[in-house]
Structures are given as C-alpha cells and as structure tokens.
Structure 1
Amino acid sequence: MAVKAPRRIALLVGAVGLVAWSAVHLHAVGASWSQAWRMIANLGWRWPLLLGVVWLLGLVVHTSVLTASLPGLSHRRALTLNLSGSAVSNVLPLGGVAGTALNLGMVRGWGHTGLEFARFVVVSKAWDLIAKLFMPLVTLGILLVADLTPGGHMLLWLLCSVICFVSGVLVTAALLGRAGPLLRLVAWCERVWTRIRPKAQPGWTAATTDLLDGTDSLVRRRWRELSWGMTGYWVLQGALLWLSFVAIHVYLPWPIILAGLVAERLLTLAAITPGGAGVVEAGTIAILIALGADPTGALAGVLLYRAFVFAAEIPVGAMATALWLLFRRPPAQCA
C-alpha cells in the first residue's frame, strides 16, 4: 500500500497539470471559459431534467449487457452495480479496481460465485471494449463520406482506426472461443517486455487464458442481449451528447456528434485519472474543434455532457451504494 499511495498522489498531480494545460490551450484557440459557463448556467431547469432522463434511460438500457453477462442478475441489481462501481471509479485514480472489488462484494451477497463474477466482468467489459474499438473506423468512414475530415494527419487517423478495429476483431474472436490469434499477440508482447525487463515475469498469456476460460459459451448464448444493450446504450449516449449541444444552441452535423461520442468513449479507456477526468474532456474537445466546431461551444457542450456521464454518477452512485448497505441481508441469510 505504501507504494501505491505515492503513485495515486502523482496521478492526481498529473491530472491537475493536464487540466491546467488544457485550459490554457483552449484559451489559445479561442475558447472562453466564462462564456461557456454562462451558456450552461442559463439553461433553466427543463434542459437538465430532460438530459437527466436521457442519461438514466441509457443506464437502464445498459443493464441488458450486465444481466446477459451474469445469468440470474436482475435489472435493478445491475443498475445498482453500474452506479456504485462508477461512483468509486470516478473519485479515485485507477478507481476501476476499487469499483470492481465493491461489485464483487455485492454480487456475492446476492448468491453469485466468484467465478461467475469473474466471467461477468470479462464479458461485460470486453463487450464495451469491442464497441469502443470498432467505432473509430466506422466513424472515420462516415466522416470521409460526409467530407468532414480535418485536414492533415489523415494517415495517422486511419492507422489508429485500423489498429483499433483489428484489436476489436481479436477480442471478439477470443470471446467466441477462438482465442489463438489474441493469445499469440499477448505472448509476443510478453516476450518483448521480458527482453526489456529481464527480471520481469508478467504472466500475461496465462492470465488472459484464465480470463477467457468459459466465456465463449456465455457469449454464444447471450450475444443478442449483449449487442442490443450496447447498441441502445450508445444510441442514447449519442442522443445525450447531441441534446447537450442543442441545449446551449450549438448545432453540429450528426457525423461530428458521432466523432465526439466515439472520442469520448475511447478516451475513457485511459482512466489514469478518476473516470478519465481531464484526459477525456481535453481529447473530446480537441476532436470537435479539429472537425470545425466552435471552441467555446465545444467546451460548453462537452462539459454539460460530462456533468451527467461523469459527475452525476458520483452522488447517484453513492446513494445506490448506501441503499444497498442499508437493505442488504446479513451474510448468514445469503445463498
């Protein structure tokens, strides 16, 4: 624990530095923080209410992914898992581990085994990862057709999108029981790492094999529920982002909204800060500005959107966790 504390402090310091740098850079490209805050503050109560409904509806639809990943899990409990885990993840650097530990305690109290929970985590997180990896190439194709791609660096954009897509294909194949290509790639990365650090024994190949054990039968049975839930969730997240801009009277073409959504979802993978705070906002705003969005409008729209998908999850998730603690059964009564 003594080793982890300084790392977390360093991550927090790095997050503050990143936010400060992003603020200065946004001002340099013409974004006004004061005007962005005024755009949000003048919304009244109807827009936040509508945005809140869309946000909650997205979380409800996403429970289909969680219930499909853990047979026997109800939608109400799936929503509690999602909110409580997100609340922890959004307040701690690398908080995903702490959120997963909390969720493990919850599902074991509901009578599920540790093995079932492990498969639940692998399938639900991997299905989310697959969506995030497939969408960049799809979005780039849409932007090309709409003639909305930014000038310069097109080869880099294409290369990154193709790498993401191929990675998504490997993960999908592994979940369906054809893990050979993914395991060979992991083994190669492991060999390279051991050459860089000869004393290291990461065990990545064995760990990946263990994680994938038994997931193929679950995915083959539940792929429809997984796909429907993830598709519906992405549609509602896109609607939330679009409405966030409409609320502040910033109207962007839907391919640019899609690009912003994909950037935001993909950047959440870089959760070195709590919930990716700072990194996600800066990257998403940069993509929108590169595609022609007004800097101040992009800033205000992304901040409003993240107020729901990031900030609102903390108090709502804390309440969900408190209710679980209040009404959970004593361990002796658990199945």
Structure 2
Amino acid sequence: MKNKWLQITLSVLSLGLAVLLVVYLPQIVRTLTGKPVSWHEIGKVFGTLGPGEIALMTALWLLSLLAYTFVLTNSLPGLNNLQGLTLNAAGSAVSNLLPFGGAVGVAVSFAMTRGWGFSSRSIVVMTLVSGIWNTMFRFILPAVGIIALLAAGEAPNATVAKAGWTGAISILVLCVIVAVALYWDRAAVVLGRALDGITRLLRLKIHASDAFHKLRADTAGVVRSRWAGLSLGMVFFLGFQWAIMAACLQATGAWPGFAQSIAVFALSRVLTSVLITPSGAGIMEGGVVLLLTEGFGVGVAPATATALLFGFWTYTIEIPFGGLALGAWALLRRRNGRNAGAEPPSAISKAQ
C-alpha cells in the first residue's frame, strides 16, 4: 500500500511539474536565452496557422501512428494493423500520463494482447523486440542530427567537426554491432566476450554475456525473420514525426534549414527520455526553443510556438486518442464477454 501511494504521489507531482513547465515556459525561455517572450506573442504566431497547415499536420500524425503499427505487427506475428494502432495508442496514453509510465504501458499491452488470444511468451518477445528497436533508433537519431549539421557546415571549427564526426560514426558503429550480434551467432559470441571484459574492467558483479545471450535467445526468431520490417517501420515512423516538426517550423516561420530541422527533431526525441516528467513534457519544449534561438538564430516567439505545437502532436493529442482507443477496446471486450455468456452450451461445444 505504501508503494502504491508513493507511486500515485510521484505521478501527480511529475504530471504537475510538466504542467508548470509548460505554463511558465515563457519565463523559462527568458531565463535560458535572456530574450523575453509572452503568451500574447506566442498566441499571435498560433493565430497565423491556416486550416491547410493543421490538416497537413493531422495527416502526418495519423501516418506516423500507422507507420509504428508495422513495428508492432512485425514484433508480434498475427497482430493486425488495427490491433497495433489500438495497442500503440493505449500504451502511449498511459506513458504520457505517468513518469516511468512504460511499465504500466507494458501491463496494458499485455492485457490487450492476451485478450486477443496471444500467448504470454509471444507478448514478452514483442515487448523485447519493439523495445530493442526503439532503443537502437533512439541512439541513431543523435548521430544523424550531428551528421546533418556537419554536412551543412554548422561546426564552428575543424576540431569540433572532427569530434562530431568521430562521435556520430562511433554511435552508428555501435548500433550496427548490436544489430549484427542479434542476427549472427559468431558476432553474438564476440560481443558477449567484449561485454564480459568491460564488466570485469569496471569490477561489476554481473554476467553481461549471459544476459545478452538470454535476450538474444528470446528474440532470435523474430529478429532474424522480421528485422527489415521492424527497421522500415521505425524509419517511416520517425520520418513522419520529422515531417510534423518540419510542418510546425514552416507554419510558425521558424524554419532554420533542412539539416538544422533534423538536429532539432533529434534533440526533441532525445529529451523525451528525461523521465522527470512523463515523456519529458516541458523539458523537450525548453530544449527545442534553446537550440532554435541560440543555435540557429530563430526568433523566440516562433521558436516557442514551434516547440508547443510539436509537443501537442507528439504528446498531448495522444492522451485523449489513446483513451478513446482503450475505452473502445474495453467496451468491445465487455460486449464479447456478454455474447459468449449468452451463447447456448450446445453452440459453445460446437465452436470448440
């Protein structure tokens, strides 16, 4: 009971902090950048949005949701796209309301998929595989953002450029090594030995290779047969989310350039990992405004409006949408339960 009330208290505090960070975003922006901005100025930027721009953002948002269903359907063979959309929406709604909400989201996903007749084993594999692919692409994004800026000549000097290329390539190489090790037996053995060497060097009392080989054994079948679908799903999902960011930047007059927009998007996705607030809400907006204004010279009002607008399409709107999806699933489950209970015993025996 103590743990339950502690979790409730922390969740309320975390969600309250997220609301406060957004409400006081103009003051936070002024502290970070030294440039004043008011809600009136931000509201004037919002007032310039036209129906066509809003329709475009809505379409891109729906396409991003659809793209992610392919990650789920490839993680869980037999799952269809409508089920994947429902699963993604419900899980996102829970994660966006609670700090560390991913664990609750997994519980919701487990209940929904079990209700659709999937085994516990296959659901665990889906959770592991989709989690691995999300993590890998979350690592890849900063590297892509750095490379985009370097290619656009945004590095202040040769030393910074060299460090940037080294860091970006190192991240990409690490992700490739992990991906290959998940697919190829010999690479897995080599990586397992390397992990053990690192843990011995750090004097950690864990067997990293055992944990890795267990993870690989659990996910090997899906990874080997469906890695291409998983990767394409993540690429299109993130591509549509970047397109939402680009649409927000264009609509508010904050467009800093193609490469710069990729860097802003990459930073926004990294900051969602800051779990002080649910999905980094409030933290993400501040980081985006800081990069746009201080890094790329965008006006403070357009930059702030962009951050809030992008936060709406990637965070806020998912809460009511996910709530509707979860409610529809619960109603259908209850109705199906009533129908099963009303079915005559003879019909039930024939169906079996």
Normalising by structure 2, report the TM-score.
Answer: 0.81
Structure 1 residue identity aligned to 2:270: L
Paired with 2:83 and 2:26, the residues of 1 have a C-alpha distance of 39
Shift of the alpha carbon at 1:141? Answer: 2.1
Query: How far does the alpha carbon of each residue in 1:221-259 deviate from its partner, in whole angstroms, 9 at most, with x for none?
Result: 112211221121122111111111111233321111111
Paired with 1:135 and 1:278, the residues of 2 have a C-alpha distance of 20
Which residue in the other structure is 1:198 paired with? Answer: none
The answer on 1:287 being equivalent to 2:291 is yes
CA contact (8 A) 1:264 1:284 kept: yes
Question: Which has a greater percent of helix?
Answer: 2
Which residue in the other structure is 1:259 paired with? Answer: 263
Which residue in the other structure is 1:129 paired with? Answer: 135
Show the 5 A alignment for 1:315-330: 315-328=320-333, 329-330=336-337
Query: How far does the alpha carbon of each residue in 1:45-73 deviate from its partner, in whole angstroms, 9 at most, with x for none?
Result: 44323211110111112211111111000
Could you tell which deviates more after superposition, 176-185 or 288-297?
A: 176-185
The answer on 1:176 being equivalent to 2:183 is yes
Shift of the alpha carbon at 1:146? Answer: 1.1
The answer on 1:86 being equivalent to 2:92 is yes
Aligned in 2, Cα 1:156/1:303: closer, same or farther, shift over 3 Å? farther
Which residue in the other structure is 1:227 paired with? Answer: 231
What's the secondary structure of 2:260's corresponding residue?
helix
Paired with 2:204 and 2:238, the residues of 1 have a C-alpha distance of 38
What's the secondary structure of 2:55's corresponding residue?
helix
What's the secondary structure of 1:149's corresponding residue?
coil
Normalising by structure 1, report the TM-score.
Answer: 0.84
Paired with 1:149 and 1:320, the residues of 2 have a C-alpha distance of 45
Aligned in 2, Cα 1:205/1:182: closer, same or farther, shift over 3 Å? closer
CA contact (8 A) 2:49 2:252 kept: yes
Which of 213, 217, 224 is the aligned partner of 1:213?
217
Show the 5 A alignment for 1:95-106: 95-106=101-112
Could you tell which deviates more after superposition, 292-301 or 160-169?
A: 160-169
Structure 2 residue identity aligned to 1:234: L
C-alpha RMSD over aligned residues: 3.3
Aligned in 2, Cα 1:275/1:66: closer, same or farther, shift over 3 Å? same
Paired with 1:186 and 1:264, the residues of 2 have a C-alpha distance of 34
What's the secondary structure of 1:214's corresponding residue?
helix
Which of 230, 249, 269 is the aligned partner of 2:273?
269
CA contact (8 A) 1:119 1:211 kept: no
Which residue in the other structure is 1:26 paired with? Answer: 29
Query: How far does the alpha carbon of each residue in 1:173-206 deviate from its partner, in whole angstroms, 9 at most, with x for none?
Result: 34324444267437845984858xxxxxx78765
Could you tell which deviates more after superposition, 38-47 or 100-109?
A: 38-47
Shift of the alpha carbon at 1:31? Answer: 5.0
Question: How high is the sequence identity, in percent, across the aligned residues?
Answer: 30
Paired with 1:321 and 1:72, the residues of 2 have a C-alpha distance of 20
Structure 2 residue identity aligned to 1:316: F
Which residue in the other structure is 1:199 paired with? Answer: none
Could you tell which deviates more after superposition, 150-159 or 3-12?
A: 150-159
What's the secondary structure of 2:328's corresponding residue?
helix
CA contact (8 A) 1:133 1:167 kept: no
Structure 1 residue identity aligned to 2:176: V
What's the secondary structure of 1:251's corresponding residue?
coil
- Which runs of 5 or more residues in structure 1 are unaligned? 196-201
Paired with 1:82 and 1:267, the residues of 2 have a C-alpha distance of 20
Paired with 1:323 and 1:130, the residues of 2 have a C-alpha distance of 32
Aligned in 2, Cα 1:250/1:14: closer, same or farther, shift over 3 Å? closer
Structure 2 residue identity aligned to 1:242: A
Q: Which has the larger radius of gyration?
A: 2
Structure 2 residue identity aligned to 1:2: K
Paired with 2:317 and 2:193, the residues of 1 have a C-alpha distance of 38
CA contact (8 A) 1:148 1:291 kept: no
Could you tell which deviates more after superposition, 38-47 or 134-143?
A: 38-47
Structure 1 residue identity aligned to 2:267: A
Instruction: Tell me how many residue pairs correspond in the alignment.
Output: 329
CA contact (8 A) 1:134 1:165 kept: yes
Show the 5 A alignment for 1:137-216: 137-149=143-155, 161=168, 164-177=171-184, 178-180=187-189, 181=191, 184-185=194-195, 188-189=198-199, 192=202, 207-216=211-220
Paired with 2:15 and 2:198, the residues of 1 have a C-alpha distance of 33
CA contact (8 A) 1:11 1:93 kept: yes
Shift of the alpha carbon at 1:138? Answer: 2.9
CA contact (8 A) 1:122 1:212 kept: no
Paired with 1:272 and 1:46, the residues of 2 have a C-alpha distance of 35
